[in-house]
Structure 1
Amino acid sequence: MTAEADLRSQAREWLVLLNSGRASAADHAAMERWRRTSAEHAKALAEAENLWALLGQVERPAAIVQAMPRRKRRWPLPLASAACLLLALWLTPPGWHADLRTQAGEIREVTLEDGSRLQLNGATAMDWNADADGQRRVRLYRGQVDFQVAADAVHPFVIEAGEARIRVTGTRFDVNLLGDQVLLAVSEGHVQVSDADGREQAVQAGEQIAWLAGRLQSPQPLDAARALAWQRGRLVFRDRPLTEVFEELQRQQTQQVLFLDAAARELKVTGVFALDDPQALLRAIETALPVKLTHLPGVLLVSSDG
């Protein structure tokens, strides 16, 4: 996720909270502080407010609402309508036009024209191109891919994922585009990597490296049990933020997630879960953590509990 897209996401979350009927005076003050952080913050919120104003007109007719039995509702009908429409209009996943795509919950194996073998995790999208000069290029828009690149010293295999650049001639590695970070885990051989600032680094088999907000970090020993767990049908988390956990979870189910407060975003998760049972992970989160999960059509709202 780019910095601009992340700001838009945060702006949407502020509007969902402030229109939920739960927002306190402190929440309104915190939103104003967020708005004044920078001109980019103010622009993102203004765009969200303009779209929200348009969506606010899409409500049930008054006669229908009045005819409904009166009961206490935690989330007003206009909020549910607006939240769902916002997601439909703004959260069209990147790479919807890509050459290769998987749906949420789908794991797909692909063999490219050059003989390279790929395994795509759920909700992954990428372009593949081999030009007349033999250059081999992949653009990863979202998701996670295990690459087994066919050896060809003359024609390097280049991958772009966010601000990450990965260049190999033949080896095996895993690329995980997760929010505003990219994670590379090298199983075999070696990989040459760089970022938008021109920093370069060689990463060897048994190492992993991350790009955070586009900046290349230092190599670390490979934690294969966690980084490659999806290939064995598992999700493994070790003290990971709840935002990252839900990023992983959305590869297995289509429901979109919106956080309503910062406290919920910072909660940590540790555990091992089955990849094909996302509901078990949701139950574990709500049981073990002080969070409230509110289900709307196509949307999961996450807030601190108490």
Structure 2
Amino acid sequence: MSETRLTHTQVDAITEAAAQWCMRLHEPDCTEQEREAFAVWLKADPLHALEYEAMLDIWDVSEHLPRPAKVIALPGRQPHSTWRRLGIAAAITLLALPLAAYSGWQLGWVPNAYERLEASSSMKTVTLPDGSQVELNLGTQLTFSNYKDQRRVNLSKGEAFFKVRHDASHPFVVQAAEGRIRVTGTQFNVWRYEDQVRVTLLEGSVLVTGNQNLSGDGLRLEPGMQARYKAGDYTPQISQTYADTPDLAWRNGKLVLDNLTLADALPLINRYLDTPLVLADNATGKLRIGGVFNTHDINQLVTSLPKVLPVYLSLNQDGKPIINGRPGN
């Protein structure tokens, strides 16, 4: 039985559909019905899934294409949405045509190497195309793009430890939330949960800014220093740390809570949970917790909370677990 071959027109139609789905699913007003229709389309043919995965890569690349000084919004669209649509169209063209791709590389618009990395149920160590190494904690997602003028990582969630190959003329930049970490060669850890980011430096030096839209390279960290910021911060908060800091215990599969308040501990705990815990009130958040826990079994920590603290667990209307302080405490 002969293999059925798709025509160029059919392949182009699938590519166009994948691009349309990619853009639509990233729109804030995408409906549940549309998402269900996308799921049906995705399962209809294995090629659909392959094309959509490729389109996600192009979507990430389009994020970094140079933005024009002025973008005229389409009717009913915000300027940022319009730019992303123009950007993805430009990225498809640049990556699809060899000559255009070469020109895009020379201009610093398009990477010559791109990888999407994810660690879900187990930690992962990967050597990047530039020779740098990255260790991914559980639940981590990031992308790596090698541009002519810089190496770029986008940490969308989770935590990663980087051993960056030194290259002074080709800086290594990590984007996390609204901030940026810039290095040439060093060892450092980046933790991100929602809009919170923590950078811990072991060797070398890094420049950290909490808002990459601001001018300047940011604050310089030396070994034994840590920077924290969240979306909207003007500058990071800098503090001293030490060699055996609990922030790096995850590399050994451990979560160390060093007499932290529940308010400070929850972001560290929630990154390992499918359904995050929520505090009932500020008073409950001031309770303190300590101990060493297995990152592969954080649910055991959750069930043990009422045994070690004056709290009890309940569910809110959305089915999320709530930590409540016991009356009288």
TM-score range, shorter chain: 0.5 to 0.7
Q: SS of the residue aligned with 2:283? A: helix
Superposed, which structure 2 residues align to 1:79-118 within 5 Å?
99-103=116-120, 105-118=121-134
Correspondence for 2:220 among 171, 180, 202: 202
Shift of 1:272: 1.7
The whole-number CA distance in structure 1 between the counterparts of 2:243 and 2:289 is 17
The 3 A distance-change label for structure 1 pair 245 and 299 is: same
Which digits, 9 at most, give the CA deviation of each residue in 1:194-249, with x for residues without a partner? 23255722111222222245331124233633110111221111232324423222
The whole-number CA distance in structure 1 between the counterparts of 2:243 and 2:285 is 24
**Which residue identity does 1:142 align to in structure 2?**
K
Q: SS of the residue aligned with 1:228? A: helix
**Which residue identity does 1:300 align to in structure 2?**
P
Correspondence for 2:293 among 273, 283, 286: 273
**Which residue identity does 2:197 align to in structure 1?**
V
Tell me if the contact between 2:272 and 2:295 (Cα under 8 Å) persists in the aligned partners: yes
Tell me if the contact between 1:123 and 1:251 (Cα under 8 Å) persists in the aligned partners: yes
Alignment RMSD, CA only?
A: 2.9
Which digits, 9 at most, give the CA deviation of each residue in 1:133-167, with x for residues without a partner? 14211111211100111111110001111132111
Where does residue 13 of structure 1 map in the other structure? none
Larger relative contact order (CA 8 Å, sep ≥ 6): 1
Where does residue 155 of structure 1 map in the other structure? 170
The whole-number CA distance in structure 2 between the counterparts of 1:102 and 1:247 is 18
| Alignment TM-score, normalising by the size of structure 1 | 0.61
In the alignment of these two chains, the number of paired residues is: 212
Report sequence identity in percent.
33
Where does residue 155 of structure 2 map in the other structure? 140
Shift of 1:301: 2.5
Where does residue 123 of structure 1 map in the other structure? 139
The 3 A distance-change label for structure 1 pair 243 and 221 is: closer
The whole-number CA distance in structure 1 between the counterparts of 2:305 and 2:154 is 33
Shift of 1:250: 3.0
Correspondence for 1:211 among 200, 206, 229: 229
The whole-number CA distance in structure 1 between the counterparts of 2:177 and 2:272 is 22
Structure 1 or 2, whichever has the larger Rg, is 2
Tell me if the contact between 2:145 and 2:152 (Cα under 8 Å) persists in the aligned partners: yes
The whole-number CA distance in structure 2 between the counterparts of 1:298 and 1:129 is 39
The 3 A distance-change label for structure 1 pair 198 and 178 is: farther
Superposed, which structure 2 residues align to 1:189-268 within 5 Å?
189-196=204-211, 197-198=214-215, 200-213=218-231, 214=233, 215-222=235-242, 224-268=244-288
Tell me if the contact between 1:121 and 1:144 (Cα under 8 Å) persists in the aligned partners: yes
The whole-number CA distance in structure 1 between the counterparts of 2:224 and 2:283 is 35
Which digits, 9 at most, give the CA deviation of each residue in 1:266-304, with x for residues without a partner? 322222222222133224422121221236997422222
Tell me if the contact between 1:106 and 1:122 (Cα under 8 Å) persists in the aligned partners: yes
The 3 A distance-change label for structure 1 pair 223 and 289 is: farther
Which digits, 9 at most, give the CA deviation of each residue in 1:11-46, with x for residues without a partner? xxxxxxxxxxxxxxxxxxxxxxxxxxxxxxxxxxxx
The 3 A distance-change label for structure 1 pair 303 and 109 is: same
The whole-number CA distance in structure 1 between the counterparts of 2:261 and 2:289 is 6
Tell me if the contact between 2:276 and 2:320 (Cα under 8 Å) persists in the aligned partners: yes
Tell me if the contact between 2:187 and 2:204 (Cα under 8 Å) persists in the aligned partners: yes
Tell me if the contact between 1:125 and 1:140 (Cα under 8 Å) persists in the aligned partners: yes
**Which residue identity does 1:211 align to in structure 2?**
Y
Tell me if the contact between 1:208 and 1:222 (Cα under 8 Å) persists in the aligned partners: no
Correspondence for 1:173 among 188, 212, 232: 188
Correspondence for 2:203 among 167, 184, 188: 188
> Which stretch shows the higher mean deviation, 115-124 or 279-288?
279-288
Tell me if the contact between 1:118 and 1:148 (Cα under 8 Å) persists in the aligned partners: yes
Where does residue 308 of structure 2 map in the other structure? 288
Where does residue 41 of structure 2 map in the other structure? none
Shift of 1:126: 1.6
The whole-number CA distance in structure 1 between the counterparts of 2:209 and 2:177 is 12
The whole-number CA distance in structure 2 between the counterparts of 1:181 and 1:254 is 18
The whole-number CA distance in structure 2 between the counterparts of 1:120 and 1:128 is 13
